[in-house]
A and B are shown apart, each in its own frame.
Chain A
């Protein structure tokens, strides 16, 4: 892990340059340019709001549109980072074959460019908060920590995914499917509070309720999304209880994922 950080520092110029390339190339010949980065969460927010008005989702004290937008921000960041990070080595095949630098630069680059798109969405969130008359509290300082944690989670997926994808492209095709299913298993459309109420308060699954809740929160995104909403909208610190299972899973899996990537890396140029 320390090696990863040192590498990131050594190759910061490269990561920055490649991330900038990703962003410019994506939006260069588009009339709307980088505005596309906000169109996706905004349109999803509108759809979810529409759905909510039919099925009725209790969003507590927070207006539903802003709650779901604050959920979509970390979710879309994670989803794009993980799936594009998985494809990142193969996408850069010509570089892999010709020039050496540590290959984790590619997934890291994806994270960096996705962070830039995320930053733009913070502007929209700010406008929404102003619209609903919400003020950020001191707990907003948790946001960078939560985002760093999200990057680590996405890296855990992207590193192992990218390595396998070099050998078998199946993973690149399978991951988006898996991730879109995971979205429904994460508190994006509904707030985590609903799950908490169902399982911890109502004990809906009887004696299994507690265990089910832990399993639900092994998905790090559950804790991340809830923590993000807490820190920015509810003026509360992140709920450690619902973050812990996901954190343990990440701490266990990320080093494995990194080691797997470094092992496979030696033969990328031969098989890509």
Chain B
């Protein structure tokens, strides 16, 4: 029998605030006069969600903000009740939803460990056994007898995390926000969560925005979208779908709101007319294969002649992390640009980044390195997944041509798709 059964569950919230006396009186008057009373609009946080989880499954839940992930967790943790449908959880649930809920500032670290653990339903004797471990994990040995109102915020969340994850139950409901603190401690948190998830054959429901982590930990992933189950299946497929949707969303946003407001500074001497990514047949495209050629064509109009201008074309991620850039400054005899329309092509024979959405930036300087034009996110393009990435988690950012030497024999590799094709034949 399934250990978690979610049977056509919906959860509605009413928008706005609870009716006050004034509203009630006004509505009463309206009813007396036969007018319709105002009703608060409803919002479906979960809409007919239906799935079951078997014992021992590790299931990831992903989705955009507001997709209903937290609402689902709250229902499973019994904090809130569904508006419609039925929810059955067979076994003790340990909801690791929030770090440090119930920590009391006035009490010392030691007192809080016992109190918080009791609130989380961990028996006292278990805590007594685990106390030293909890404190050591939180790295708070020195401060354990200080009231936690004197703690830094990092110390508080460390303590909270350490207590919360000492819980032992058949079903773990984990929210990603659990990874807290500085980089080193986050690493520890992730390791601890992975230990919790992977060992002991527990059933785990894991909510996260860190899709890579979900892919690595979970065998099955449920994608929520606006309160509905958009996909439910093997981790990789669902994650791929989510990436595709996310990228679409980013592109929509850029072509919409951002389109008008690109990050551009220009002296007016040149105008960029068009930037295109070209495919093998030199036609404009939006998508190139991973490891394939990236050819960017820039058409610009020069209003004042520029002697030996320096042109920089580069790529960056949608969050403006600069990836590649090349400048014409290193070219021996770069040409002058006269007044008129010019076409410039930037060609990377093998663009080595894995699937995702990337953007193009462009800068033009005159020969004295005065900035004439600079723009980011001028054009977006997608790098499609290679065959190998569809099959297993792309645990990498770069897709580089590779050679191997195994047992004395040289395998002159190529980029990933062809290796994969070779393996298939």
Contact = CB atoms under 8 A, between A and B. Distances in A.
- Asked if A pairs with B, the answer is yes
Chain B interface SS verdict (over half): loop
Given A98-B97, A100-B95, A14 B81 contact: no
Interface string A252-272: 000000000000001101110
Given A13-B118, A17-B115, A269 B80 contact: yes
A100 B111 contact: no
B101 A24 contact: no
B124 A99 contact: no
B113 to A, nearest CB: 11
Contacts, number: 67
A198 interface: no
Interface in A97-125: 97-101
B18 interface: yes
Contact of B95 (A29, A99, A167, A269): A99
Given A21-B115, A24-B106, A95 B18 contact: no
Interface residues on A, range: 20 to 34
Nearest to B98: A98
Contacts of B119: 14, 17-18, 95, 99, 101
A106 to B, nearest CB: 12
B78 interface: yes
B102 interface: yes
Chain A interface SS verdict (over half): helix
Nearest to B12: A270
A98 B102 contact: yes
A42 to B, nearest CB: 26
Nearest to A28: B106
B114 interface: yes
A94 B107 contact: no
Contacts of B147: 28
A100 B78 contact: yes
Contacts of A25: 104, 106-107
B79 A24 contact: no
Contacts of A269: 74, 79-80
A271 B18 contact: yes
A181 B369 CA distance: 84
B53 interface: no
Interface string A142-172: 0000000000000000000000000110000
Interface string A223-243: 000000000000000000000
Nearest to B77: A100
A101 B95 CA distance: 12
A267 B101 CA distance: 19
A108 to B, nearest CB: 14
A94 B104 contact: no
B44 to A, nearest CB: 14
Contacts of A270: 13, 80
Interface string B39-83: 000000000000000000000000000000000001001111100
A220 B80 CA distance: 36
B102 A13 contact: no
Contacts of B13: 270
Nearest to A10: B121
A257 to B, nearest CB: 21
A242 B104 CA distance: 44
Contact of A266 (B77, B81, B101, B104): B81
Nearest to A101: B121
B123 interface: yes
B79 A99 contact: yes
Contact of B123 (A13, A29, A101): A13
Given A13-B123, A167-B18, A270-B13, A99 B101 contact: yes
B120 interface: yes
Given A21-B104, A24-B106, A267 B81 contact: yes
Interface string A25-67: 1001100000000000000000000000000000000000000
Given A99-B79, A270-B13, A270-B80, 16 more contacts: A13-B118, A14-B121, A17-B114, A18-B119, A20-B115, A24-B106, A25-B104, A25-B107, A28-B106, A97-B101, A98-B79, A99-B95, A99-B97, A99-B98, A100-B78, A267-B80
28 contacts: A13-B123, A14-B119, A14-B121, A17-B119, A18-B119, A21-B107, A21-B115, A24-B106, A28-B106, A29-B106, A95-B101, A95-B119, A97-B79, A98-B97, A98-B101, A99-B77, A99-B79, A99-B95, A99-B101, A99-B102, A100-B77, A167-B18, A168-B18, A267-B81, A269-B79, A269-B80, A270-B13, A270-B80
The 5 closest A-B pairs by CB, nearest first: A98-B101, A17-B118, A266-B81, A100-B78, A98-B98
